[in-house]
Structure 1
Amino acid sequence: MADITWEDPFCAEGNNCFRIGTDSNGNAYIAIAGQEDTPLTDTREALRTLIRDIKSGKADHLL
């Protein structure tokens, strides 16, 4: 597995905690805290788009 640099866990009230990470190859990772060995992997741009969409309310129907 790539050498991933993980951010501190993000924990919403009453929800699972997740972590966002990146590697030197331009990949981005998202994983449930404690399960970093099985992350969802995509490009940094895809992760950036996901975060922007969540912040703008485009994913509210998923919550």
Structure 2
Amino acid sequence: MPHIHWEDPFCGDSSNCFRLGTDSAGNAYIAVSGAEDHYITDTRDALRALIRDIKAGKADHLL
């Protein structure tokens, strides 16, 4: 498991919270808050686009 620096949790209007993280190699990670050992990883740009869509209400059903 890589060493991941997790940011503070982001919680939307509902009870779903998630966290973003990065490692020293520049990889980006996203996980449900409280379950950081089960994460997905992708490029920062891909995860940034996902988060923008979630915040815009386009993909909140994914959480």
TM-score where L is the length of structure 2 = 0.74
Q: What are the superposed Cα offsets for residues 3-59 of structure 1, whole Å, 9 maximum, x if unpaired?
A: 1010100111223110000111121111000000010111112222333445566x3
Corresponding residue of 2:24: 24
Match of 2:3 in 1: 3
Amino-acid identity (%): 64
Computing the radius of gyration from Cα coordinates, the structure with the larger value is 1
Q: Aligned equivalents of 2:33 and 2:54: distance in 1?
A: 19
* Structure-1 residue corresponding to 2:15: 15
Q: CA RMSD in A?
A: 2.0
Partner of 1:33: 33
Change (3 A) 1:30 1:53: same
What secondary structure, in the 3-state scheme, does the structure 2 residue paired with 1:19 have? strand
* Pair 16,51 (structure 1): closer, same or farther in 2 beyond 3 Å: closer
TM-score (norm 1): 0.74
